[in-house]
A = this chain, B = another copy of it.
Protein backbone atom coordinates (compact mmCIF):
# COMPACT_ATOMS: atom_id res chain seq x y z
CA UNK A 1 0.00 0.00 0.00
CA UNK A 2 1.32 3.41 -0.99
CA UNK A 3 0.41 6.24 1.38
CA UNK A 4 1.34 9.84 0.77
CA UNK A 5 1.09 12.33 3.62
CA UNK A 6 1.09 16.00 2.69
CA UNK A 7 2.31 18.06 5.63
CA UNK A 8 4.94 16.88 8.10
CA UNK A 9 4.21 18.78 11.28
CA UNK A 10 1.76 17.78 14.05
CA UNK A 11 -1.05 15.84 12.35
CA UNK A 12 0.96 14.57 9.40
CA UNK A 13 3.94 13.44 11.44
CA UNK A 14 1.70 11.69 13.98
CA UNK A 15 -0.13 9.95 11.18
CA UNK A 16 3.08 8.80 9.50
CA UNK A 17 4.64 7.39 12.67
CA UNK A 18 1.45 5.64 13.76
CA UNK A 19 0.87 4.17 10.33
CA UNK A 20 4.33 2.67 10.27
CA UNK A 21 3.74 1.06 13.64
CA UNK A 22 0.55 -0.49 12.35
CA UNK A 23 1.83 -1.49 8.95
CA UNK A 24 5.46 -2.39 8.52
CA UNK A 25 4.94 -2.91 4.78
CA UNK A 26 3.20 0.29 3.74
CA UNK A 27 5.19 2.59 1.49
CA UNK A 28 4.93 5.91 3.28
CA UNK A 29 5.98 9.18 1.71
CA UNK A 30 5.65 12.32 3.82
CA UNK A 31 6.23 15.70 2.23
CA UNK A 32 6.55 19.08 3.89
CA UNK A 33 6.58 22.34 2.04
CA UNK A 34 8.71 24.03 4.71
CA UNK A 35 12.31 23.26 5.56
CA UNK A 36 11.49 21.32 8.74
CA UNK A 37 9.21 18.44 9.67
CA UNK A 38 7.73 17.88 13.10
CA UNK A 39 8.78 21.19 14.61
CA UNK A 40 7.25 22.79 17.67
CA UNK A 41 5.37 25.77 16.33
CA UNK A 42 3.74 26.29 19.74
CA UNK A 43 7.20 27.27 20.96
CA UNK A 44 7.85 30.00 18.41
CA UNK A 45 6.74 32.98 20.53
CA UNK A 46 9.03 31.78 23.31
CA UNK A 47 11.93 31.35 20.93
CA UNK A 48 11.36 34.94 19.84
CA UNK A 49 11.39 36.00 23.46
CA UNK A 50 14.55 34.07 24.21
CA UNK A 51 12.85 31.81 26.75
CA UNK A 52 13.67 28.95 24.41
CA UNK A 53 17.13 30.06 23.37
CA UNK A 54 18.10 27.49 20.76
CA UNK A 55 16.25 27.09 17.51
CA UNK A 56 17.31 23.45 17.48
CA UNK A 57 15.21 22.87 20.60
CA UNK A 58 12.13 23.36 18.44
CA UNK A 59 12.97 20.49 16.14
CA UNK A 60 11.08 17.64 17.77
CA UNK A 61 12.03 14.90 15.32
CA UNK A 62 14.15 15.36 12.25
CA UNK A 63 13.97 13.71 8.86
CA UNK A 64 16.62 11.26 9.86
CA UNK A 65 14.50 9.98 12.77
CA UNK A 66 11.63 9.35 10.39
CA UNK A 67 13.88 7.51 7.98
CA UNK A 68 15.84 5.41 10.44
CA UNK A 69 13.22 4.62 13.08
CA UNK A 70 10.15 4.57 10.86
CA UNK A 71 11.47 3.77 7.38
CA UNK A 72 9.47 6.70 6.07
CA UNK A 73 10.49 8.60 2.96
CA UNK A 74 10.48 12.21 4.13
CA UNK A 75 10.94 15.19 1.87
CA UNK A 76 11.06 18.70 3.22
CA UNK A 77 11.05 21.77 0.95
CA UNK A 78 8.66 19.75 -1.12
CA UNK A 79 5.26 21.10 -2.07
CA UNK A 80 2.29 19.12 -3.28
CA UNK A 81 1.07 21.19 -6.20
CA UNK A 82 -1.77 19.06 -7.48
CA UNK A 83 -3.83 16.00 -6.72
CA UNK A 84 -5.52 13.89 -9.33
CA UNK A 85 -8.15 11.87 -7.48
CA UNK A 86 -9.09 10.09 -10.71
CA UNK A 87 -5.56 8.77 -11.30
CA UNK A 88 -4.83 8.65 -7.58
CA UNK A 89 -1.65 10.60 -8.06
CA UNK A 90 -0.04 13.62 -6.42
CA UNK A 91 2.21 16.09 -8.17
CA UNK A 92 5.17 17.17 -6.06
CA UNK A 93 7.48 20.10 -6.57
CA UNK A 94 10.97 20.12 -5.09
CA UNK A 95 11.20 23.72 -3.88
CA UNK A 96 14.99 23.67 -4.02
CA UNK A 97 15.52 22.26 -7.50
CA UNK A 98 12.15 23.12 -9.01
CA UNK A 99 11.78 19.52 -10.17
CA UNK A 100 8.21 18.28 -10.55
CA UNK A 101 7.36 14.61 -10.13
CA UNK A 102 4.17 12.56 -10.04
CA UNK A 103 3.51 9.92 -7.39
CA UNK A 104 0.76 7.34 -7.18
CA UNK A 105 -1.05 6.71 -3.90
CA UNK A 106 -3.49 4.21 -2.54
CA UNK A 107 -4.36 6.48 0.36
CA UNK A 108 -3.62 10.16 0.69
CA UNK A 109 -3.53 12.18 3.92
CA UNK A 110 -3.76 15.95 3.83
CA UNK A 111 -2.25 17.79 6.77
CA UNK A 112 -1.50 21.15 5.16
CA UNK A 113 -2.26 23.14 8.31
CA UNK A 114 -3.48 26.69 8.31
CA UNK A 115 -2.16 29.86 6.81
CA UNK A 116 -1.84 33.14 8.64
CA UNK A 117 -4.51 35.66 7.77
CA UNK A 118 -2.84 38.45 5.81
CA UNK A 119 -5.26 41.12 4.64
CA UNK A 120 -4.25 43.09 1.54
CA UNK A 121 -3.55 46.29 3.47
CA UNK A 122 -1.41 49.08 2.07
CA UNK A 123 2.19 48.55 3.05
CA UNK A 124 1.71 45.05 4.46
CA UNK A 125 4.80 43.83 2.62
CA UNK A 126 7.11 46.42 4.16
CA UNK A 127 10.16 45.04 5.94
CA UNK A 128 9.65 44.68 9.69
CA UNK A 129 6.16 43.17 9.42
CA UNK A 130 6.10 39.51 10.40
CA UNK A 131 3.93 36.49 11.01
CA UNK A 132 4.79 33.97 13.72
CA UNK A 133 4.09 30.67 12.01
CA UNK A 134 7.27 28.90 10.98
CA UNK A 135 10.86 28.52 12.04
CA UNK A 136 12.06 30.81 9.25
CA UNK A 137 9.56 33.39 10.58
CA UNK A 138 11.03 33.24 14.06
CA UNK A 139 14.55 33.33 12.69
CA UNK A 140 13.79 36.51 10.75
CA UNK A 141 12.05 38.08 13.76
CA UNK A 142 14.95 37.32 16.05
CA UNK A 143 17.38 38.82 13.56
CA UNK A 144 15.21 41.91 13.25
CA UNK A 145 14.81 42.26 17.02
CA UNK A 146 18.55 41.91 17.47
CA UNK A 147 19.13 44.72 15.02
CA UNK A 148 16.48 47.02 16.47
CA UNK A 149 17.58 46.54 20.06
CA UNK A 150 21.06 47.52 18.92
CA UNK A 151 20.15 50.47 16.72
CA UNK A 152 17.04 52.07 18.21
CA UNK A 153 18.14 54.62 20.72
CA UNK A 154 15.17 54.81 23.06
CA UNK A 155 12.90 51.91 23.99
CA UNK A 156 12.06 50.10 20.76
CA UNK A 157 8.39 49.88 19.90
CA UNK A 158 6.34 46.92 18.76
CA UNK A 159 2.80 46.75 17.45
CA UNK A 160 1.10 43.38 17.68
CA UNK A 161 -2.04 43.08 15.64
CA UNK A 162 -4.50 40.54 16.94
CA UNK A 163 -5.37 39.47 20.49
CA UNK A 164 -5.50 35.70 20.13
CA UNK A 165 -2.99 33.17 21.49
CA UNK A 166 -0.12 34.03 19.21
CA UNK A 167 -0.68 37.77 19.51
CA UNK A 168 -0.70 37.71 23.30
CA UNK A 169 2.17 35.26 23.69
CA UNK A 170 4.27 37.27 21.26
CA UNK A 171 3.33 40.53 23.00
CA UNK A 172 4.59 39.12 26.29
CA UNK A 173 7.80 37.92 24.71
CA UNK A 174 8.42 41.27 23.05
CA UNK A 175 8.03 42.96 26.42
CA UNK A 176 10.66 40.56 27.72
CA UNK A 177 12.90 41.62 24.87
CA UNK A 178 12.59 45.23 25.92
CA UNK A 179 9.93 46.50 23.54
CA UNK A 180 7.11 48.88 24.36
CA UNK A 181 4.22 46.85 23.00
CA UNK A 182 0.90 48.05 21.64
CA UNK A 183 -1.67 45.36 20.97
CA UNK A 184 -4.41 46.23 18.51
CA UNK A 185 -7.51 44.04 18.38
CA UNK A 186 -10.43 44.56 16.04
CA UNK A 187 -13.07 43.00 18.26
CA UNK A 188 -14.16 44.09 21.72
CA UNK A 189 -11.96 41.61 23.62
CA UNK A 190 -8.77 39.63 23.58
CA UNK A 191 -8.79 35.80 23.60
CA UNK A 192 -11.91 35.05 21.58
CA UNK A 193 -12.50 31.63 23.21
CA UNK A 194 -13.30 33.17 26.60
CA UNK A 195 -16.19 35.37 27.58
CA UNK A 196 -15.79 39.10 27.63
CA UNK A 197 -15.87 39.60 31.39
CA UNK A 198 -12.95 37.21 31.73
CA UNK A 199 -11.16 38.78 28.79
CA UNK A 200 -11.34 42.03 30.78
CA UNK A 201 -9.31 40.39 33.55
CA UNK A 202 -6.68 39.33 31.04
CA UNK A 203 -6.62 42.77 29.44
CA UNK A 204 -6.15 44.47 32.80
CA UNK A 205 -3.30 42.10 33.53
CA UNK A 206 -1.63 42.84 30.19
CA UNK A 207 -1.90 46.55 30.84
CA UNK A 208 -0.45 46.13 34.29
CA UNK A 209 2.58 44.60 32.62
CA UNK A 210 2.99 47.41 30.17
CA UNK A 211 1.11 46.20 27.11
CA UNK A 212 -1.03 48.96 25.66
CA UNK A 213 -4.23 47.13 24.75
CA UNK A 214 -6.37 48.77 22.07
CA UNK A 215 -9.75 47.15 21.40
CA UNK A 216 -12.38 47.81 18.76
CA UNK A 217 -9.90 49.09 16.27
CA UNK A 218 -8.46 47.55 13.14
CA UNK A 219 -5.33 48.23 11.21
CA UNK A 220 -5.80 50.31 8.05
CA UNK A 221 -2.28 50.27 6.67
CA UNK A 222 1.44 50.61 7.14
CA UNK A 223 3.92 53.24 6.01
CA UNK A 224 7.64 53.52 6.19
CA UNK A 225 8.47 55.96 8.98
CA UNK A 226 11.64 57.76 9.95
CA UNK A 227 14.83 55.92 10.92
CA UNK A 228 13.60 52.64 9.57
CA UNK A 229 10.55 52.58 11.80
CA UNK A 230 7.05 51.80 10.59
CA UNK A 231 3.87 53.77 10.98
CA UNK A 232 0.74 51.75 11.69
CA UNK A 233 -2.53 53.53 11.00
CA UNK A 234 -5.88 52.26 12.20
CA UNK A 235 -9.46 52.50 11.04
CA UNK A 236 -10.16 55.02 13.78
CA UNK A 237 -7.36 57.12 12.31
CA UNK A 238 -4.93 56.60 15.11
CA UNK A 239 -1.26 56.19 14.33
CA UNK A 240 1.31 54.04 16.10
CA UNK A 241 5.03 54.04 15.53
CA UNK A 242 6.65 50.63 15.43
CA UNK A 243 10.11 49.18 15.09
CA UNK A 244 8.51 45.81 14.52
CA UNK A 245 4.99 44.72 13.64
CA UNK A 246 3.62 41.27 14.35
CA UNK A 247 0.60 40.16 12.36
CA UNK A 248 -1.38 37.75 14.52
CA UNK A 249 -4.76 38.03 12.89
CA UNK A 250 -5.46 34.37 13.20
CA UNK A 251 -5.25 31.54 10.76
CA UNK A 252 -7.50 29.99 8.16
CA UNK A 253 -7.45 26.40 6.95
CA UNK A 254 -5.15 25.86 4.01
CA UNK A 255 -7.65 24.28 1.63
CA UNK A 256 -6.17 25.35 -1.70
CA UNK A 257 -5.03 21.88 -2.67
CA UNK A 258 -8.13 20.19 -1.29
CA UNK A 259 -10.39 22.48 -3.30
CA UNK A 260 -8.33 21.90 -6.41
CA UNK A 261 -8.87 18.19 -5.88
CA UNK A 262 -12.60 18.77 -5.65
CA UNK A 263 -12.87 17.82 -1.98
CA UNK A 264 -15.83 19.12 -0.04
CA UNK A 265 -15.27 21.97 2.39
CA UNK A 266 -17.60 23.11 5.16
CA UNK A 267 -19.37 26.26 6.24
CA UNK A 268 -16.42 27.28 8.43
CA UNK A 269 -14.01 27.05 5.51
CA UNK A 270 -12.22 23.87 6.50
CA UNK A 271 -11.98 20.53 4.74
CA UNK A 272 -15.07 18.50 5.56
CA UNK A 273 -14.28 15.11 7.07
CA UNK A 274 -16.20 12.32 8.75
CA UNK A 275 -15.39 11.06 12.22
CA UNK A 276 -12.74 8.80 10.71
CA UNK A 277 -10.94 11.73 9.06
CA UNK A 278 -12.13 10.71 5.59
CA UNK A 279 -12.79 13.55 3.18
CA UNK A 280 -15.54 13.45 0.55
CA UNK A 281 -13.15 11.21 -1.41
CA UNK A 282 -12.89 7.94 0.53
CA UNK A 283 -9.22 7.44 -0.35
CA UNK A 284 -8.24 10.87 0.87
CA UNK A 285 -8.01 11.74 4.54
CA UNK A 286 -7.43 15.11 6.14
CA UNK A 287 -6.29 16.10 9.64
CA UNK A 288 -5.14 19.07 11.68
CA UNK A 289 -5.73 22.79 11.35
CA UNK A 290 -7.08 22.43 7.81
CA UNK A 291 -10.18 20.47 8.76
CA UNK A 292 -13.49 21.26 10.37
CA UNK A 293 -14.20 19.10 13.38
CA UNK A 294 -17.18 18.60 15.64
CA UNK A 295 -17.38 20.56 18.85
CA UNK A 296 -17.74 17.95 21.58
CA UNK A 297 -20.34 19.98 23.47
CA UNK A 298 -22.40 21.78 20.84
CA UNK A 299 -22.01 19.25 18.04
CA UNK A 300 -21.34 22.17 15.70
CA UNK A 301 -18.64 22.14 13.05
CA UNK A 302 -15.74 24.19 14.25
CA UNK A 303 -12.17 25.14 13.43
CA UNK A 304 -9.70 24.41 16.19
CA UNK A 305 -6.07 25.10 15.39
CA UNK A 306 -4.68 23.18 18.37
CA UNK A 307 -1.82 20.72 18.46
CA UNK A 308 -3.51 18.13 20.70
CA UNK A 309 -6.51 17.45 18.45
CA UNK A 310 -4.24 17.55 15.37
CA UNK A 311 -2.07 14.80 16.81
CA UNK A 312 -5.08 12.69 17.76
CA UNK A 313 -6.56 13.11 14.30
CA UNK A 314 -3.32 12.04 12.64
CA UNK A 315 -3.34 8.92 14.75
CA UNK A 316 -6.95 8.17 13.88
CA UNK A 317 -6.36 8.61 10.14
CA UNK A 318 -3.50 6.12 10.39
CA UNK A 319 -5.69 3.67 12.30
CA UNK A 320 -8.42 3.88 9.68
CA UNK A 321 -5.98 3.51 6.79
CA UNK A 322 -4.62 0.43 8.54
CA UNK A 323 -8.14 -0.99 8.66
CA UNK A 324 -9.10 -0.11 12.20
CA UNK A 325 -12.32 1.40 13.39
CA UNK A 326 -11.02 4.43 15.32
CA UNK A 327 -13.21 7.49 15.55
CA UNK A 328 -12.59 11.08 16.56
CA UNK A 329 -14.86 12.22 19.35
CA UNK A 330 -14.61 15.90 18.60
CA UNK A 331 -12.83 18.55 20.56
CA UNK A 332 -13.58 20.39 23.77
CA UNK A 333 -11.24 23.23 22.85
CA UNK A 334 -9.31 22.91 26.11
CA UNK A 335 -6.56 25.51 26.09
CA UNK A 336 -4.25 27.48 28.33
CA UNK A 337 -2.10 30.57 28.05
CA UNK A 338 0.47 31.92 30.46
CA UNK A 339 1.02 35.68 30.45
CA UNK A 340 3.36 37.52 32.82
CA UNK A 341 2.97 34.92 35.55
CA UNK A 342 -0.79 34.64 35.28
CA UNK A 343 -2.58 31.81 33.59
CA UNK A 344 -5.88 31.73 31.73
CA UNK A 345 -7.38 28.39 30.78
CA UNK A 346 -10.69 27.09 29.58
CA UNK A 347 -12.51 24.04 28.36
CA UNK A 348 -15.87 23.28 26.79
CA UNK A 349 -18.31 25.85 25.55
CA UNK A 350 -18.34 29.54 26.44
CA UNK A 351 -21.41 31.65 27.15
CA UNK A 352 -21.29 33.69 23.99
CA UNK A 353 -21.48 30.55 21.89
CA UNK A 354 -24.54 29.40 23.83
CA UNK A 355 -26.11 32.82 23.30
CA UNK A 356 -25.30 32.76 19.60
CA UNK A 357 -26.97 29.36 19.36
CA UNK A 358 -30.04 30.68 21.16
CA UNK A 359 -29.50 28.18 23.95
CA UNK A 360 -31.18 29.30 27.18
CA UNK A 361 -30.92 25.98 29.03
CA UNK A 362 -27.81 26.98 30.95
CA UNK A 363 -26.74 28.74 34.09
CA UNK A 364 -23.37 30.19 35.01
CA UNK A 365 -21.62 30.78 38.29
CA UNK A 366 -18.73 33.01 39.20
CA UNK A 367 -16.55 32.31 42.19
CA UNK A 368 -13.09 33.18 43.47
CA UNK A 369 -11.56 30.28 45.34
CA UNK A 370 -8.00 30.19 46.60
CA UNK A 371 -5.64 27.95 44.67
CA UNK A 372 -4.89 26.08 47.89
CA UNK A 373 -5.62 26.28 51.61
CA UNK A 374 -5.45 29.93 52.53
CA UNK A 375 -3.51 29.15 55.71
CA UNK A 376 -0.61 27.75 53.67
CA UNK A 377 1.60 30.51 52.22
CA UNK A 378 1.30 31.38 48.56
CA UNK A 379 -2.40 30.77 47.98
CA UNK A 380 -3.67 32.83 45.06
CA UNK A 381 -7.24 33.61 44.11
CA UNK A 382 -8.65 32.04 40.96
CA UNK A 383 -11.31 33.82 38.93
CA UNK A 384 -13.64 31.01 37.91
CA UNK A 385 -16.69 30.76 35.71
CA UNK A 386 -18.48 27.46 35.30
CA UNK A 387 -21.35 26.95 32.86
CA UNK A 388 -23.78 24.05 33.21
CA UNK A 389 -27.04 22.87 31.75
CA UNK A 390 -30.04 23.92 33.80
CA UNK A 391 -32.19 20.95 32.88
CA UNK A 392 -29.86 18.22 34.09
CA UNK A 393 -26.71 19.78 35.51
CA UNK A 394 -24.38 18.66 32.72
CA UNK A 395 -21.12 20.59 32.93
CA UNK A 396 -20.79 22.55 29.69
CA UNK A 397 -17.72 24.69 30.07
CA UNK A 398 -15.39 26.56 32.37
CA UNK A 399 -12.93 29.42 32.33
CA UNK A 400 -10.35 30.26 34.96
CA UNK A 401 -7.70 32.90 35.48
CA UNK A 402 -5.09 33.12 38.20
CA UNK A 403 -1.47 32.82 39.19
CA UNK A 404 -1.71 29.31 40.62
CA UNK A 405 -3.85 26.20 40.38
CA UNK A 406 -5.64 27.12 37.15
CA UNK A 407 -4.15 24.35 35.02
CA UNK A 408 -5.10 21.71 37.59
CA UNK A 409 -8.72 22.80 37.83
CA UNK A 410 -9.37 23.29 34.13
CA UNK A 411 -7.61 20.04 33.28
CA UNK A 412 -9.74 18.14 35.80
CA UNK A 413 -12.85 19.91 34.49
CA UNK A 414 -11.85 18.95 30.96
CA UNK A 415 -11.72 15.34 32.12
CA UNK A 416 -15.14 15.70 33.72
CA UNK A 417 -16.66 17.29 30.62
CA UNK A 418 -15.21 14.57 28.43
CA UNK A 419 -16.94 12.01 30.63
CA UNK A 420 -20.23 13.95 30.49
CA UNK A 421 -20.11 14.71 34.19
CA UNK A 422 -22.76 16.75 35.94
CA UNK A 423 -22.38 19.32 38.64
CA UNK A 424 -23.46 16.57 41.06
CA UNK A 425 -20.36 14.66 40.05
CA UNK A 426 -18.30 17.78 40.68
CA UNK A 427 -19.62 17.91 44.23
CA UNK A 428 -17.97 14.53 44.80
CA UNK A 429 -14.73 15.01 42.87
CA UNK A 430 -11.62 13.99 44.78
CA UNK A 431 -8.70 16.08 43.60
CA UNK A 432 -5.28 15.91 45.19
CA UNK A 433 -5.42 17.68 48.51
CA UNK A 434 -2.74 18.76 50.92
CA UNK A 435 -2.58 22.37 52.16
CA UNK A 436 0.02 23.35 49.57
CA UNK A 437 -2.03 21.92 46.70
CA UNK A 438 -5.70 22.47 47.34
CA UNK A 439 -8.38 22.62 49.96
CA UNK A 440 -10.31 19.88 51.70
CA UNK A 441 -13.20 21.25 49.71
CA UNK A 442 -11.54 21.92 46.39
CA UNK A 443 -12.68 24.79 44.17
CA UNK A 444 -14.24 22.13 41.93
CA UNK A 445 -16.21 20.71 44.85
CA UNK A 446 -17.38 24.25 45.52
CA UNK A 447 -18.37 24.65 41.90
CA UNK A 448 -20.47 21.52 42.19
CA UNK A 449 -22.01 22.56 45.50
CA UNK A 450 -22.85 26.06 44.34
CA UNK A 451 -24.37 24.77 41.11
CA UNK A 452 -26.29 22.02 42.89
CA UNK A 453 -27.64 24.55 45.36
CA UNK A 454 -28.95 26.53 42.41
CA UNK A 455 -30.56 23.58 40.64
CA UNK A 456 -32.02 22.26 43.91
CA UNK A 457 -33.54 25.68 44.49
CA UNK A 458 -31.60 25.97 47.72
CA UNK A 459 -29.96 29.06 46.38
CA UNK A 460 -31.62 30.95 43.56
CA UNK A 461 -29.10 33.29 42.01
CA UNK A 462 -29.12 36.53 40.15
CA UNK A 463 -26.48 38.28 38.12
CA UNK A 464 -25.33 41.85 38.56
CA UNK A 465 -27.05 43.19 35.47
CA UNK A 466 -30.50 42.32 36.83
CA UNK A 467 -29.62 42.56 40.52
CA UNK A 468 -28.73 46.21 40.14
CA UNK A 469 -32.28 46.95 39.03
CA UNK A 470 -33.82 45.30 42.11
CA UNK A 471 -33.55 45.39 45.89
CA UNK A 472 -30.02 44.76 47.07
CA UNK A 473 -28.82 43.48 50.44
CA UNK A 474 -25.14 43.66 51.31
CA UNK A 475 -24.27 41.25 54.14
CA UNK A 476 -20.63 42.28 54.50
CA UNK A 477 -19.11 43.88 57.57
CA UNK A 478 -19.04 47.70 57.78
CA UNK A 479 -15.25 47.82 57.42
CA UNK A 480 -15.49 46.05 54.08
CA UNK A 481 -17.97 48.63 52.82
CA UNK A 482 -15.47 51.36 53.50
CA UNK A 483 -13.19 49.91 50.82
CA UNK A 484 -15.83 49.38 48.16
CA UNK A 485 -19.52 49.96 48.35
CA UNK A 486 -22.72 49.74 46.35
CA UNK A 487 -24.63 52.75 47.69
CA UNK A 488 -28.09 51.54 46.65
CA UNK A 489 -27.73 48.40 48.75
CA UNK A 490 -28.97 47.97 52.32
CA UNK A 491 -26.23 46.72 54.62
CA UNK A 492 -26.94 44.14 57.29
CA UNK A 493 -23.88 42.13 58.32
CA UNK A 494 -24.56 38.41 58.16
CA UNK A 495 -24.19 38.00 61.92
CA UNK A 496 -27.03 40.47 62.55
CA UNK A 497 -29.37 39.25 59.85
CA UNK A 498 -31.58 36.96 61.91
CA UNK A 499 -32.32 39.83 64.30
CA UNK A 500 -33.04 42.42 61.64
CA UNK A 501 -35.34 40.60 59.26
CA UNK A 502 -38.03 43.20 59.84
CA UNK A 503 -35.93 45.74 57.92
CA UNK A 504 -36.38 43.77 54.72
CA UNK A 505 -39.28 43.79 52.27
CA UNK A 506 -41.41 40.67 51.99
CA UNK A 507 -42.89 41.62 48.64
CA UNK A 508 -39.70 42.17 46.68
CA UNK A 509 -36.96 39.94 45.41
CA UNK A 510 -33.90 40.51 47.57
CA UNK A 511 -30.56 40.30 45.78
CA UNK A 512 -28.04 39.34 48.45
CA UNK A 513 -24.33 39.80 48.04
CA UNK A 514 -21.11 39.77 50.02
CA UNK A 515 -17.51 39.75 48.87
CA UNK A 516 -17.47 36.52 46.91
CA UNK A 517 -20.83 34.88 47.47
CA UNK A 518 -20.39 32.60 50.46
CA UNK A 519 -21.89 34.70 53.22
CA UNK A 520 -24.57 35.79 50.77
CA UNK A 521 -25.39 32.13 50.36
CA UNK A 522 -25.78 31.74 54.11
CA UNK A 523 -27.96 34.85 54.15
CA UNK A 524 -30.03 33.62 51.22
CA UNK A 525 -30.74 30.43 53.14
CA UNK A 526 -31.82 32.39 56.20
CA UNK A 527 -34.10 34.63 54.15
CA UNK A 528 -35.67 31.84 52.11
CA UNK A 529 -36.46 29.85 55.23
CA UNK A 530 -38.06 32.94 56.73
CA UNK A 531 -40.34 33.37 53.76
CA UNK A 532 -38.44 36.04 51.85
CA UNK A 533 -37.77 35.93 48.13
CA UNK A 534 -33.99 35.94 48.07
CA UNK A 535 -31.33 35.45 45.44
CA UNK A 536 -27.58 35.29 45.75
CA UNK A 537 -25.80 37.63 43.34
CA UNK A 538 -23.27 35.20 41.92
CA UNK A 539 -19.66 36.09 42.57
CA UNK A 540 -20.52 38.97 44.90
CA UNK A 541 -18.51 42.18 44.87
CA UNK A 542 -15.71 40.41 43.03
CA UNK A 543 -17.86 39.77 39.99
CA UNK A 544 -19.37 43.22 40.31
CA UNK A 545 -15.89 44.56 39.79
CA UNK A 546 -15.60 42.29 36.78
CA UNK A 547 -18.83 43.33 35.20
CA UNK A 548 -18.32 47.00 35.85
CA UNK A 549 -14.71 47.13 34.76
CA UNK A 550 -14.60 49.62 31.93
CA UNK A 551 -13.43 48.17 28.68
CA UNK A 552 -10.05 49.19 27.43
CA UNK A 553 -11.17 50.99 24.34
CA UNK A 554 -9.38 54.23 23.75
Residues of chain A having any CB pair with chain B under 8 Å: 10, 20-25, 40, 42-43, 46, 51-52, 57-58, 60, 68-71, 306-312, 315, 329, 331-338, 343, 345, 347, 373, 375-377, 407-408, 410-416, 418-421, 425, 427-438, 440-442, 445, 449, 458, 494-495, 498, 519, 521-522, 525-526, 529-530
Residues of chain B within 8 A of A46, CB atoms compared: 376, 435-436
Which 10 pairs, one residue from A and one from B, show the smallest C-beta to C-beta distance? A68-B495, A419-B419, A307-B440, A336-B432, A24-B529, A415-B415, A334-B430, A57-B375, A411-B431, A21-B525
Give the oligomeric copy count.
2
Q: Are A335 and B21 in contact (CB under 8 A)?
A: no
Do A414 and B412 have beta carbons less than 8 Å apart?
Answer: yes
Complex CA–CA separation, A530 to B445 (angstroms): 51
Tell me the minimal C-beta distance from A350 to chain B in angstroms: 15
- Say yes or no: A440 contacts B408, CB within 8 Å: no
Q: Is the CB of A437 within 8 A of B336?
A: yes
Given A376-B43, A440-B307, A522-B69: A334 in contact with B432 (beta carbons within 8 A) = yes
Give the residues in chain B near A58, CB-CB below 8 Å.
Answer: 375
20 new A-B contacts at CB < 8 Å, known A43-B375, A308-B430, A410-B432: A21-B525, A22-B525, A42-B433, A42-B434, A42-B440, A52-B376, A58-B375, A68-B494, A70-B522, A308-B433, A308-B440, A329-B428, A337-B434, A407-B432, A407-B437, A414-B431, A415-B421, A418-B425, A419-B419, A419-B425
Name A346's closest neighbour in chain B (CB-CB). Answer: B432
Are A414 and B430 touching (Cβ within 8 A)? yes
Whether B440 pairs with A310 at a CB distance below 8 angstroms is: yes
Residue of B nearest to A452 (CB): B326
A428 to chain B, nearest CB (A): 5
30 contacts between A and B (CB under 8 A): A20-B525, A21-B525, A25-B529, A42-B433, A43-B376, A43-B435, A46-B436, A51-B376, A52-B435, A68-B495, A307-B433, A309-B430, A310-B440, A311-B441, A329-B428, A334-B432, A336-B432, A336-B437, A338-B437, A407-B437, A408-B411, A410-B432, A411-B412, A412-B412, A413-B415, A414-B431, A415-B419, A418-B428, A418-B429, A419-B425
Q: How far is the CA of A211 from the CA of B427 in the complex (A)?
A: 39
**How far is A494 from B43 in the complex, measured between Cα atoms in Å?**
28
Please, which residues of chain B bring their CB within 8 A of the CB of A415?
A: 412-413, 415-416, 419, 421, 429, 431
| Nearest B residue (CB) for A421 | B419
Using Cβ atoms and an 8 Å threshold, which residues of chain B touch A427?
312
